[in-house]
A and B are shown apart, each in its own frame.
Chain A
Amino acid sequence: MKTALPEDIAEFAAVAAKRFTRFGGPQAALRAETEDHLRHDARAALADLGAFDLDVRSAGDDLLAAAVLGQAAGAAALPYPLVEELLAIDGARLALVNPDAPRIDHGDLAGDWIAADLDGTRYHVHPSSRTNAKLGPFLVPAILTESDGTVSAADVDLHLTLGSWRILGAVQQALEITRQHVTARMQFGKPLAEFQAVRFTIADASVAVRGLHELAKYTISRTESTAAQVRSADALILRLKAADTARQVLRTAHQLLGALGFCDESDVSVLDRHTQPLIRLPLSSEMLALRLVPGVRGGQLETLFSDPVAAEPV
Chain B
Amino acid sequence: MDYDLGADAAELRKRLRELISAHIPEGFLGACTDDPRDLATTESFCKLLASDGLLALAWPKEHGGGGSSVWQQTVLREEMWAHHEPRGAQYMGINWVGPAVMRYGTPEQKARHLSAIAAGEVLWCQGFSEPEAGTDLASLRTRAVPDGDGWRVTGQKVWTSYAQMASWCVLAACTDPNAPKPKRLSLFLVPMDRPGITVRPIRSMLGPHHLNEVFLDGVEVFADEVLGEVGDGWRVMREALAFERVGIARYARCESLLDRMQTELGEDWDRLPESIRSRWVRALIDLRVARLLAYRAVSLQDDPSAGPAASAARIATTTCDQLVAELLFDALGPSALDSGSSAALHGAVEDHWRYAQAATVASGTIEVQRMLVAREALGDHG
Contact = CB atoms under 8 A, between A and B. Distances in A.
Contact of A203 (B2, B6, B315): B315
A210 B312 CA distance: 8
Interface stretch (A33-41, A143-151, A285-293): A285-293
B380 to A, nearest CB: 10
Interface string B365-382: 001011101101111011
Given A4-B1, A4-B299, A292-B281, A202 B374 contact: yes
Interface string B338-382: 000000000000000000000000000001011101101111011
Interface residues of A, number: 49
A207 interface: yes
B298 to A, nearest CB: 8
B364 to A, nearest CB: 14
A25 B90 CA distance: 55
Contacts of A196: 382
Interface residues of B, number: 51
A309 to B, nearest CB: 14
Contact of A206 (B278, B282, B290, B373): B373
B274 A290 contact: yes
Nearest to B289: A211
A297 B378 contact: no
Contacts of B378: 179, 182-183, 193, 199, 202
A196 to B, nearest CB: 6
B362 to A, nearest CB: 19
B47 interface: no
A195 B378 CA distance: 11
Name which of A193, A220, A240 has the most chain B CB atoms within 10 A of its CB: A193
Given A3-B3, A290-B278, A203 B299 contact: no
Contacts of B374: 199-200, 202-203, 206
B312 A207 contact: yes
Contacts of B293: 207, 210-211, 214
A214 to B, nearest CB: 4
B283 to A, nearest CB: 10
B176 interface: no
Nearest to A222: B3
A217 B291 CA distance: 13
Interface string A189-224: 011011110011011101100111011011011100
A304 B373 CA distance: 27
A71 to B, nearest CB: 14
Contact of A303 (B259, B296, B373): B259
A237 interface: yes
Contacts of B258: 303
A292 B252 CA distance: 21
Interface string B1-39: 111111000000000000000000000000000000000
A303 B292 contact: no
Interface string A1-44: 11111100000000000000000000000000000000000000
Given A2-B2, A3-B299, A193-B381, A204 B370 contact: yes
B247 to A, nearest CB: 15
Contacts of B285: 237, 240-241, 301
A220 B3 CA distance: 11
A303 B261 CA distance: 14
Contact of A1 (B3, B278, B289, B367): B3
A203 B274 contact: no
Given A214-B293, A293-B278, A1 B377 contact: no
Contacts of A4: 1, 299
A306 interface: yes
Given A207-B373, A240-B285, A303-B259, A297 B269 contact: yes
A64 interface: yes
B188 interface: no
B164 to A, nearest CB: 33
B295 A1 contact: yes
Interface of A: 1-6, 64, 179, 182-183, 190-191, 193-196, 199-200, 202-204, 206-207, 210-212, 214-215, 217-218, 220-222, 237, 240-241, 286, 289-290, 292-293, 295-297, 301, 303-306
Given A199-B378, A206-B374, A210-B309, 20 more contacts: A3-B292, A3-B295, A3-B296, A6-B1, A179-B378, A183-B381, A191-B381, A200-B370, A202-B374, A202-B378, A203-B373, A207-B312, A218-B3, A218-B288, A220-B1, A295-B281, A303-B259, A304-B82, A304-B256, A304-B291
7 shortest interchain CB distances as A-B pairs: A199-B374, A214-B292, A194-B382, A305-B259, A203-B370, A211-B289, A203-B373
14 contacts: A1-B4, A1-B5, A193-B378, A199-B381, A200-B374, A220-B1, A240-B285, A292-B281, A297-B269, A303-B259, A303-B287, A304-B255, A305-B82, A305-B256
